[in-house]
Amino acid sequence: MNWIKQEGKIFWPSEDMKKKAWVSDESYYEEGKDPEKFWAKRAEELDWKEKWTKIYEQGKDPGEFKWFLGGKINASHNALDRHLKDKGDKVALMWVPEVPGEGVKLTYRQLHEKVSRFAGSLKKLGVQKGDRVSIYLPMIPEVIISMLACARIGAIHSVCFSAFSGESLKDRIVDAEAKILITADGYYRKGKPINLKESADIGAEGTNLQNVIVVQHTKTKVNFNKKDIWFHDLLEQGNPTEPEFVESNEPLFILYTSGTTGKPKGVIHDTGGYLTQAYWTTKLDFDLHDEDIFWCTADVGWVTGHTYGCYGPLSLGATLFMFEGAPNYPDEGRWWEEIEKNKITVFYTAPTAIRMFMKFGDEWPKKHNLESLRILGTVGEPINEEAWMWYLNVIGGGRCPVIDTWWQTETGGTLINSLPGIGPFIPTVAGRCFPGTHLMIVDESGSEVEKGRTGYLVQKPPFAPGMLRGVWKNPKKYFESYWKRFPGLYDSSDGAMIREDGTIRLTGRVDDVMKVAGHRLSTAELENAIDEHPLVREAAIVPKPHDIKGEVPVAFIILKDPSKGNEDLKKDIVKHVDKTIGPTARPSEIYFVDDVPKTRSGKIMRRILRGLVKGDKNLGNITTLMNPEVVEKLKEIVH
Ligand code: ATP
Ligand code: MG
């Protein structure tokens, strides 16, 4: 079945897609023009113990707003209990381990049983509503069980990515003042068991944790301390526990941002508003139906793993696929093999992964039958045209729409994207604002700019229900990061442009915009242009201060074949930039490098490169870097 049709460089849903889709006309967008009414109607598809008394309230300070005031809701009840009657025997979670072996399939009934028992044990350990529980687990079913068990008793979970160091974990445990840590003995990475407990012990040391709960996964020999308890013991002993319904605005979780632009912030999400946006964006963005099998490849350590790898699909009663391990183990075809085997219909990943697979070569996906796929999604960074087209044609067989979703840890759910039954699907263009939300592009003074001009992406009130409600223990940071630059508006810190047709193109972070001789130039635009050069694998651009021009771009370039890096190639790249963007964008310096600093989610940390070219002594927080060793190497190259 073909789900799209093509008109030049623009793609639209086919008649089949329109027929199948939950939404295929403008009615939702029309309805969304009254956001309060729109979201109130949407929230009714969730189960509320008590209905709200007021839909929305905007406080005095712009960041002080509430949704569904007085409503009583529980996220675990919505993700599990309410499906038991009709979908008790439906598979909720399909888990596949990295090392070949039996996976696990948990029905809604089975998942419910585990969650409610584990919740009982947490309660018995003294975890109360509002207490924080840190979770440091790999991609195994216990991570979902742990999150939902916290939600069940009103405790606030704070998931820390399992590949972070013990020190990063400690920062987050201390900041959140967590009472309990849930971790595992280890996890597998490329066939090898990694001892996670060692890092967890470093993280736990010197903190006020009361207990550390340990999942036995790899059966690696680990230190067992006085405060440690086995997860499986608790699961066995726990009494099934009923959900505790909380006021809609009470926190469901804290999640620290990626730290791409600075020190990670503990973003707080509420319960009812977050869940409403998670549910509806999952349902509409991915057009998720009962028979779909949804694979969101994001680690649960990121917000994408929270919203689309847990709360969204489960509150819809969908089947969720979860995979532990590396995408290229035992070989580069692993993901495609899993799609074929498990008949994945909706697949959601990141541009960095797509580019990596492009590099591995088409032969890997071509070995597999990927015809079960219906919808493809991407999130995390602006996606370049080449990668978008590759995703569409090689993975989607030219049949599946590519849904480019823009959102942030702070927004809780997607805010800009095309809907599968409406379109359009255009490479490098994310799409329109999700119905019921209003984003716009403003200039430095906060005035809306005309279509076609780049500026700051901001959100107008009423703010989307999934939006953050604070920064943990740091109201000042909350105000300064999001509400200060443009009074009354939410500042996303991203740059964007609205096109004539009302769709939005993201241009990267505003901090990543340079001003070269009076011209605004986005690093993403210049990177995309350089990426198109046939010998280039990836480029990272940062501005360097310049006496006359204000700033000039400096390029760090990774070549497909590093031995080809010479002066002639530099000249050729400059010529290519002249041709595609113009001479103003010409890099003043080009460094051929093996690697650039990246976050664990694959994003380039430009602030480190910026510091390097400026000659800063202190390059700031690097705890979330995937490859900290590259920093020293680059220092040598630059100086
Ligand atoms: P920090 O805020 O700590 O610096 P971060 O912004 O990288 O870290 P995330 O919340 O994980 O943390 O990432 C959100 C950011 O990712 C967005 O602000 C945007 O810059 C980028 N992004 C996400 N999706 C898209 C997309 N579809 N197109 C373009 N950019 C995107
Ligand atoms: Mg951010």
Domain ranges of the chain: 4-104+247-496, 517-638
Q: Which atom of ligand 1 is nearest to the CA of 378?
A: 27
Check if the beta carbon of residue 314 is closer than 8 Å to that of residue 367: no
pLDDT at 515: 87
Q: Does the bond joining 401 to the residue before it have cis omega, within 30 degrees of 0? A: no
Q: Map tokens 């399992």 to a residue.
A: 162
pLDDT at 621: 81
- 453-467 residue pLDDT tens: 989 999 999 999 999
- 315-374 residue pLDDT tens: 999 999 999 988 999 999 999 999 999 999 999 999 989 988 998 999 999 999 999 999
pLDDT, average across residues 240-254:
98
Q: Cα–Cα distance between 266 and 278 in angstroms, integer?
A: 19
Task: Please determine, for residue 147, whether its predicted confidence score (pLDDT) is greater than 80.
Answer: yes
Domains 4-104+247-496 and 517-638 share a fold: no
Report which of residues 524 and 399 the model is more confident about. Answer: 399
| Weakest mean pLDDT among 8-17, 343-352, 607-616 | 607-616
Amino acid making up residue 303: V
Q: Cα–Cα distance between 586 and 526 in angstroms, integer?
A: 9
Q: Cα–Cα distance between 192 and 187 in angstroms, integer?
A: 8
CA 381 to ligand 1 center in whole angstroms: 6
Task: Please determine, for residue 7, whether its predicted confidence score (pLDDT) is greater than 70.
Answer: yes
With a 6 Å cutoff on the Cβ, whether 261 touches ligand 1 is yes
Candidates 354, 355, 407: which one to mutate for ligand 1, based on the most atoms within 8 Å of Cβ?
407
Confidence category of residue 510, pLDDT binned at 50, 70, 90: confident
With a 6 Å cutoff on the Cβ, whether 247 touches ligand 1 is no
pLDDT > 70: percent of the chain:
100
With a 6 Å cutoff on the Cβ, whether 264 touches ligand 1 is yes
With a 6 Å cutoff on the Cβ, whether 380 touches ligand 1 is yes
pLDDT winner (highest mean) among 3-7, 532-536, 547-551: 3-7
Helix, strand, or coil here: 492? Answer: strand
pLDDT at 100: 67
Structure tokens at 211: 């207990």
Task: Please determine, for residue 191, whether its predicted confidence score (pLDDT) is greater than 90.
Answer: no
Task: Please determine, for residue 380, whether its predicted confidence score (pLDDT) is greater than 90.
Answer: yes
- Domain spanning 4-104+247-496, CATH architecture: 3-Layer(aba) Sandwich (3.40)
DSSP 192-250: EEEEHHHHHHHHHTTS--SEEEEE-SS-------TTEEEHHHHHHHPPP-PPPPEETTS
- Three-point CA angle 273, 277, 283, nearest 5°: 145
Task: Please determine, for residue 101, whether its predicted confidence score (pLDDT) is greater than 80.
Answer: no
> CB pairs under 8 A, 24+ apart, for 103-112?
104/141, 106/141, 108/80, 108/83, 108/84, 108/317, 109/84, 111/80, 111/141, 111/144, 111/145, 111/148, 112/80, 112/81, 112/84
Rounded to 5 degrees, φ, ψ at 530 are -70, -35
- CA distance readout (Å), 392 to 130, 286, 355, 380: 44, 15, 13, 17
Strands 65-69 and 54-58: antiparallel
Q: Cα–Cα distance between 495 and 226 in angstroms, integer?
A: 50
With a 6 Å cutoff on the Cβ, whether 301 touches ligand 1 is no
Task: Please determine, for residue 430, whether its predicted confidence score (pLDDT) is greater than 90.
Answer: yes
Rounded to 5 degrees, φ, ψ at 4 are -135, 160
With a 6 Å cutoff on the Cβ, whether 377 touches ligand 1 is no
CA 492 to ligand 2 center in whole angstroms: 7
pLDDT at 512: 81
Task: Please determine, for residue 443, whether its predicted confidence score (pLDDT) is greater than 70.
Answer: yes
Task: Please determine, for residue 513, whether its predicted confidence score (pLDDT) is greater than 90.
Answer: no
Closest-approaching ligand to the CA atom of 255? 1
Most distant CA pair in the chain, distance: 71
Helix, strand, or coil here: 97? Answer: coil
DSSP 9-76: TEEEE-HHHHHHSS--STHHHHHTTSHHHHHHHHHTTS--SB--SEEEEE-SSTT-EEEEET-EE-HH
Task: Please determine, for residue 92, whether its predicted confidence score (pLDDT) is greater than 70.
Answer: yes
Structure tokens at 60: 């005095």
Fold observed for domain 517-638:
GMP Synthetase; Chain A, domain 3 (3.30.300)
With a 6 Å cutoff on the Cβ, whether 509 touches ligand 1 is yes
Q: Which atom of ligand 1 is nearest to the CA of 599?
A: 7
pLDDT at 143: 98
Q: Cα–Cα distance between 114 and 234 in angstroms, integer?
A: 10
Give the mean pLDDT of the chain.
95
With a 6 Å cutoff on the Cβ, whether 379 touches ligand 1 is yes
pLDDT at 283: 98
Check if the beta carbon of residue 139 is closer than 8 Å to that of residue 189: no
| Weakest mean pLDDT among 34-38, 133-137, 140-144, 378-382 | 378-382
With a 6 Å cutoff on the Cβ, whether 278 touches ligand 1 is no
Other Cβ atoms closer than 10 A to 428? 18
* pTM of the predicted structure, to 2 decimals: 0.94
Task: Please determine, for residue 599, whether its predicted confidence score (pLDDT) is greater than 90.
Answer: no
**Cβ contacts of 60 within 8 Å, gap of 6 or more:** none
Helix, strand, or coil here: 156? Answer: strand
Task: Please determine, for residue 176, whether its predicted confidence score (pLDDT) is greater than 90.
Answer: yes
CA 564 to ligand 1 center in whole angstroms: 33
Residue 416 burial by Cβ neighbours in a 10 Å radius (0-12, 13-18, 19+): buried
pLDDT > 90: percent of the chain:
85
- 28-67 residue pLDDT tens: 999 999 999 999 999 999 999 999 999 999 999 989 999 9
Confidence category of residue 292, pLDDT binned at 50, 70, 90: very high
Using alpha carbons, select from 364, 203, 338, 346 the residue that is nearest to residue 285. Answer: 346
CA 257 to ligand 2 center in whole angstroms: 6
> Closest Cα to atom 28, ligand 1: which residue?
382
